[in-house]
């Protein structure tokens, strides 16, 4: 399966990265990692890229890493649709102090606009 993972550096996107790389190592998906500009993210692009390559090396997964500019949600949807991906994977949201699940703005946009199947990692 051709999988596009979109991450912007929030904690839930790092969790999605770890779980997706793990899954890829186990089932042999064809993975592409796209790093987007998440204004709400706390990590720099360089830090995210380092984390991605470390994790891919650790698990022996060979996956291209792409840097996407512009609005993150639409850049991900465009790429997934134009390059024939089967699935678009994103972080599944953060939890509030109360424990309520809160979906990020990128995931909201992707859910409402993507014609490619979307997976939110919890």
Partner 1 sequence: MSDRTFSDAVADPYDAPPLSFTDREDRTIEVRAYDGSDEEMEALVEMYDAFDPSDRAQGIPPGREDRIRDWLENILDEDCLNVIAWDGDEVAGHATLVPDGDAYELAIFVHQTYQRAGIGTRLIKALLGYGRVSGVEKVWLTVERWNRAAVGLYQTVGFETSDAESFELEMTIRLAEPPDEEGG
For the bound state, the minimum distance from the C-beta of residue 108 to partner 1, rounded and expressed in Å, comes to 6
For the bound state, the minimum distance from the C-beta of residue 17 to partner 1, rounded and expressed in Å, comes to 22
Question: Which among 78, 66, 69, 74 has a CA at the least distance from the CA of 105?
Answer: 74
Backbone torsion region of residue 9, taken as left when φ is above 0, otherwise alpha when ψ lies between -120 and 50, otherwise beta: left
Q: Which of 27, 98 has the CB closer to partner 1? A: 98
- Residue at token pair 């509030």: 96
Q: Which of 39, 60 has the CB closer to partner 1? A: 39
Question: Which among 25, 29, 26 has a CA at the least distance from the CA of 59?
Answer: 25
Q: Which of 44, 102 has the CB closer to partner 1? A: 102
For the bound state, the minimum distance from the C-beta of residue 29 to partner 1, rounded and expressed in Å, comes to 27
Q: Which of 60, 97 has the CB closer to partner 1? A: 97
Q: Which residues bind partner 1 (CB under 8 A)?
A: 95-103, 105, 108
For the bound state, the minimum distance from the C-beta of residue 122 to partner 1, rounded and expressed in Å, comes to 9
Burial of 103 by CB count in 10 Å (0-12 exposed, 13-18 middle, 19+ buried)? middle
């Amino acid at each position: 399966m051709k999988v596009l993972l979109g991450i912007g550096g929030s904690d839930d996107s790092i969790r999605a990265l770890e779980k997706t790389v793990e899954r890829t190592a186990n089932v042999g998906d064809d993975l592409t990692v796209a790093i987007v500009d998440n204004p709400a993210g706390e990590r720099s692009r360089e830090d995210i890229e380092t984390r991605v390559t470390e994790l891919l090396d650790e698990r022996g997964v060979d996956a291209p890493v792409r840097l996407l500019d512009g609005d993150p949600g639409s850049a991900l949807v465009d790429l997934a649709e134009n390059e024939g991906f089967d699935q678009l994977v994103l972080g599944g949201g953060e939890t509030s102090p109360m424990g309520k699940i809160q979906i990020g703005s990128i995931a909201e946009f992707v859910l409402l606009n993507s014609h490619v199947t979307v997976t939110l990692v919890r």
